Structure 1
């Protein structure tokens, strides 16, 4: 387990003074990468084999949003792994150790030379120590879509501020992009990452309303999918 303590700052809050959805993703992403970096054997193996892990999906359940100046703790750990994917929980707590937001994420092993998903030896997995899986409602990695319900509502080009050091759109920036197309007060965000979007790519936004959920599909102009995001207003 890796732990990160911080205070909610002014750059992380929305118009109501509460932690933004994308800031939740930023905090969870930072904590996860610090945990990976702290694992000496894992870092060595990745560097020697030119391997990294790319996020495949994330589900975040929100119980309560902290406000400006609140002290919070972010904890993350891997609870399961196989030759293709790693499974991780990340939880944000208030200063009394109450759960504010809880996440499970799936990452795939990627060959950095080709950008392709790969499988690692089972012997590597056998040496890894796992923590206990968090209690939450684990929904499927893949988000079901119905193209008959989805309607194009917008399109735009990817800007520089969205790009990270992998030269594609950072996973949290998709939330910044999506937030304009959903109402406030959502309780769950699910996102499935498909093809990485790069600088200058055109994102075609398609939207559907299904019960208490907002479904968004970010495609390119050839209908290949960058990401699918679902906002739910109940848990």
Structure 2
């Protein structure tokens, strides 16, 4: 398991002074990239080998969110690595041991020189350290699918600010798009669980249209490209 400590910054908080959803996801992403650097498989090494890790699915369980200036510890561990898929858990805990966030995720490795997904190289087995997946963490859904008739919201044109080092839309940005779309329709959810599945990379200059399905405490948002196909789908479940 790899962990790092931090304090919740003012710039990461929402209007209530608690850690906002997208900055919270950035903590998880940062934790995994910090671990990559720690074990010698960071950005420099991946760029040298023309490789990149892409997340395909998130399941994030939110028990609570820390407040401004709270000290938190973010941890991650890879508990399984198959031929084409790595599985990685995360958690965010408070200084008193309170568990704020637990998450599971699935990743694949992309070879930029071949422009395709590849079998995970033996070099990445360094992340397997014997840690296990929590038995009480819900399983990741195999296939998220919107139900019923959706409502399209304002389109989004992808600019440089949405991209990461792999030159595609950062995974947390899709969640920002979904939250903006839900808010545009007047939905406000006190999230207890977030599920995200990524389908196809969105790139600079693409136009994406979020389509919102459902209401109340169960909303699904499909982020669609110009071809009408989903680039990412997320289900947001609120507290009863």
Whether the TM-score (by the shorter chain) exceeds 0.5 is yes
> Structure 2, unaligned stretches of length 5 or more?
none
1:214 matched residue in structure 2: 219
- Counterparts in 2 of 1:101-180, with a 5 A limit? 101-120=101-120, 125=125, 128-134=128-134, 135-146=136-147, 148-180=148-180
- Counterparts in 2 of 1:191-210, with a 5 A limit? 191-209=196-214
TM-score of the two chains, using structure 1 as the length reference: 0.90
- Counterparts in 2 of 1:37-116, with a 5 A limit? 37-40=37-40, 46=46, 49-116=49-116
* 153-162 vs 27-36, which moves further: 153-162
Q: Is the 8 A contact 2:26 2:172 kept in 1?
A: yes
* Separation of aligned partners in 2, 1:45 and 1:199: 25
* 110-119 vs 51-60, which moves further: 110-119
1:186 matched residue in structure 2: 191
CA shift, 1:169, in A, is: 1.0
- Residue 230, structure 1, aligned to residue 235, structure 2: yes
CA shift, 1:165, in A, is: 1.4
* Separation of aligned partners in 1, 2:42 and 2:66: 33
2:27 matched residue in structure 1: 27
Q: Is the 8 A contact 2:163 2:170 kept in 1?
A: yes
* Separation of aligned partners in 1, 2:98 and 2:31: 18
* Separation of aligned partners in 1, 2:127 and 2:205: 42
Q: Is the 8 A contact 1:82 1:122 kept in 2?
A: no
CA shift, 1:210, in A, is: 5.8
> Structure 1, unaligned stretches of length 5 or more?
none
Q: Is the 8 A contact 2:6 2:72 kept in 1?
A: yes
* Separation of aligned partners in 2, 1:5 and 1:25: 15
Secondary structure in structure 1 of the residue aligned to 2:201: coil
* 54-63 vs 107-116, which moves further: 107-116
* Separation of aligned partners in 2, 1:95 and 1:150: 42
* 118-127 vs 18-27, which moves further: 118-127
TM-score of the two chains, using structure 2 as the length reference: 0.88
Q: Figure out how many residues of one structure are paired with residues of the other and give that number.
A: 234
